Amino acid sequence: MRKLHFALLMTFVILMFTTPVFAQAEGGGMVHADWVVISAGFAMAIASSVCGLAQGKAISAACEGLARNPGAAPAIRFALLLGLALIESLAIYTLVVIFVKVA
């Protein structure tokens, strides 16, 4: 327990004295626009992966529904296409927001 307290104290002291290292002169380092581009890339990656997972789950459920009740094919197909369009709109809205923020 004593070693844990010592390790936490030393970590705190080291982090406290490293703060001036991150200070930069004006105009140095990355600018705000660079961070916007990096965060936009992460946002698009997250949105695309969530859309892919959601579309896979929707198609799986539709296939299962068609296998259980082939007579309801038109209603299931309509619900599937509507759901896929709404899911895909997440990626499209993310792309639009990225173009607005970066431009």
- Amino acid making up residue 88: E
Phi (first) and psi of residue 31, to 5 degrees: -95, 175
pLDDT at site 29 = 57
Residues contacting 21, CB < 8 A, separation 6+ = none
Residue with tokens 């259980």: 68
> What confidence tens digit (pLDDT) does each residue in 65-103 have?
999 999 999 999 999 999 999 999 999 999 898 888 877
Mean pLDDT value across residues 24-36: 64
CATH number of 30-102: 1.20.20.10
What are the structural domain ranges in the chain?
30-102
pTM of the model: 0.62
Q: Tell me the CA end-to-end span of the chain in Å, nearest whole number.
A: 54
